[in-house]
A = this chain, B = another copy of it.
């Protein structure tokens, strides 16, 4: 089983939708194309809907569509919607016992935050429209 294929599924789906923004697709169609299960698709795309990137409609002739223009959805939007940790850095939640430790944690945290901010800037500069050829 693969780990964390949510981002992959989201990007590929959004990329396809960007090619034909007015065509709604069902989770079954998307799942077949992505080689997975409709429930998994609804699970992942549900997060994109909560973030305002997608619209879903229930019932007969329902399905999934982009909520706005492909040029207005960036990679940073997708990362944020999936709540992906950009880095795999988890600080210990236990309070630091020594002063050196506390100072270092703060320094590391600030460095990471700075790097992350720059990364988000870069991700924001790429729209899903640009993910297609």
Contact = CB atoms under 8 A, between A and B. Distances in A.
A108 B92 CA distance: 33
A71 interface: no
Contacts of A59: none
Nearest to A101: B12
B115 A131 contact: no
A37 B130 CA distance: 47
Nearest to A115: B122
Nearest to A103: B133
B107 A118 contact: no
Contact of A107 (B85, B89, B123, B133): B133
A73 to B, nearest CB: 14
B35 A88 contact: no
Nearest to A35: B94
A89 B122 contact: no
Interface string A97-129: 010110111111001000100110011001000
Give me the 7 closest cross-chain CB pairs, A-B, nearest first.
A103-B133, A4-B88, A15-B104, A7-B89, A84-B88, A115-B122, A107-B131
Given A8-B92, A111-B126, 4 more contacts: A5-B92, A7-B89, A107-B133, A115-B123
